Amino acid sequence: MLARKGHIPTLLLFAEALILILTAWYTFFTLDDNLGSYANSFRIATSSVEEDYQYVLHIAPLIVGRAIELRGEGDFEASFNASLLKVAGEVDDISSLRGDFFGKIRNKEYIIKRDGSDYVFVMQKVSVYSGTSGVNAMTRTFGISIRFNEKTIIAEGL
């Protein structure tokens, strides 16, 4: 009788081990095997944000350069700002950027700093974001700084 009672914890141990193993198996077998598509959506979101980030870094100096080229006569800063607004508006009509770079130019959310005979275009907290929504949404925020004079771009950076 006592010997039989002694088996109960051992049998319970065995049963628990079996339950643990079966649970682990169940988890494995019922795991969604569509992991590739999830990875793909992450890859697309990451790639899209990186692409738009690079796009802003590339197009910002091109726009500033064209604005310098097409500016009118008179006060440089005033004519540059007017030209920048026009050029950015034209590019914005075509661009597929998902971000607020063009909006910030439209709303004049940038500063032009004078530095000797040069100027520095500074835009802070520019955002680009992925097209996906919910848990996979990604946003990248960064700053732009472009040094230029009245004729050309001198340097660009973050």
* Three-state SS annotation for 50-82: HHHHHHHHHHHHHHHHHHHHHCCCCCHHHHHHH
Choice between 6 and 74, CB closer to other proteins: 6
Ramachandran quadrant class, 134 (left: phi over 0; alpha: psi -120 to 50; beta: rest): left
Spatial distance between the Cα atoms of 134 and 118, rounded to a whole number of angstroms:
44
β-bridge mates for residue 142, sequence order: 126
Question: What letter would DSSP give residue 152?
Answer: S
Residue 98's nearest CA partner among 61, 45, 146 is 45
Site map (CB under 8 A) of other proteins, residues 125-144, x = contact: ------x-------------
At closest approach, how far in Å is the CB of 124 from other proteins? Answer: 21
Spatial distance between the Cα atoms of 17 and 12, rounded to a whole number of angstroms:
8
Choice between 2 and 117, CB closer to other proteins: 2
At closest approach, how far in Å is the CB of 107 from other proteins? Answer: 20
- Residues 66-125 contacting other proteins, CB under 8 A: 66, 87, 90-91, 93-96, 98
At closest approach, how far in Å is the CB of 150 from other proteins? Answer: 20
Among 33, 73, 115, 133, binds other proteins (CB under 8 A): 33
Choice between 2 and 158, CB closer to other proteins: 2
Alpha carbon separation from 133 to 19, 65, 96, 107 (Å, rounded): 39, 35, 17, 26
- Asked if residue 21 binds other proteins (CB under 8 A), the reply is yes
The residue count for the chain:
158
Q: Which residues bind other proteins (CB under 8 A)?
A: 2-3, 5-7, 10, 13-14, 17-18, 21, 24-25, 28, 33, 35-36, 39-40, 43, 47-48, 50-55, 57-59, 62-63, 66, 87, 90-91, 93-96, 98, 131
